[in-house]
Amino acid sequence: MALDEARLAHSTGDVPCGAVVVHEGMVIARAHNQREALGDPTAHAELLAVRLAAEKLGTWRLSGCTVYITKEPCVMCAGAMMNARVTRVVYGAPDPKYGAAWSVFNILQDGRLNHRSEVSSGVMAGECLELLREFFETRRPD
């Protein structure tokens, strides 16, 4: 489902990143990057999905939720998930330039913070990376 969301972002000219929030085994939110469509630098897939999940649950605390993402979250998105008390984050492709779940920073498991999320990485990484490569090759041909 997150890959389907990423494909939607790609089709609208945005970086192909998708996110799905699951609570008690049920999908409660899904979203894709919409920075270009909304003209909003904070319209990342994870932030949009977390907002929708909080609205659905009627609380800002997303304890018991897992967020599935096609690309490693950035600092902003990792921070939002920490503030929302997301229990688990699962992502596909690493982000060696902006990743905040392991590649550059490790916000989601930083012992200095009062909450830590379980993190799983590399899930369907090949498919996620291929979609990202395809997107950036069309914008940066060399």
The residues that are catalytic are 46
Instruction: Count CB atoms within 10 A of the CB of residue 134.
Output: 11
Instruction: Count CB atoms within 10 A of the CB of residue 43.
Output: 17
Alpha-carbon distance 65 to 98, whole Å? 24
Closest CA to 80 of 64, 98, 62: 62
∠ CA(67), CA(41), CA(54), 5° rounding?
35
Alpha-carbon distance 83 to 110, whole Å? 13
